[in-house]
Amino acid sequence: MDLLTEPVGLSHYLVVGAILFVCGVLCMAIKRNALGVLMGVELVLNGANLNFIAFSAPYLRADSQYATGLDGHLIAMFVIVLAAAEAAVALAIALNYYNNHATIDVDEGDELKG
């Protein structure tokens, strides 16, 4: 299979999306910095967005009558807008946490532990 001479299919986009998604999940799981966790969320959202866009492109697949067309683009747009909102609130929370606890390590925030 020569990647440079053959046209790209939907699977290729899905593979990149999967890599982004898994990297994001790993980032969310293992980073101790609250902002690192936030970056993981952004990666996950981007992986999902890439899938939405790829599914909506009719020329990437043989069964183009099932391409989601405009819907994929619109949902990707909503995801981007909501991600901006989520980042703003999460950042405000992280800064408050930093001010109150003098640390950004999420493992330290266990005051409510029973």
Exposed/middle/buried for residue 20 (C-beta within 10 Å: 0-12, 13-18, 19+): buried
Alpha-helical regions (H) of 1-114: 10-30, 34-56, 70-101
Sign of CA dihedral 97, 102, 106, 109: negative
Span 67-106, contacts to other proteins by CB under 8 A = 69-70, 72-74, 76-78, 80-85, 87-89, 91-96, 98, 103-105
Residue 37 contacts other proteins per CB under 8 A: no
Which residue in this structure is represented by tokens 């990149």? 16
Size of residue set near other proteins by CB under 8 A: 78
Residue 109 contacts other proteins per CB under 8 A: no
Which of 7/114 has CB closer to other proteins?
Answer: 7
Span 39-68, contacts to other proteins by CB under 8 A = 39-40, 42-43, 46, 49-50, 53-54, 56-57, 59-64
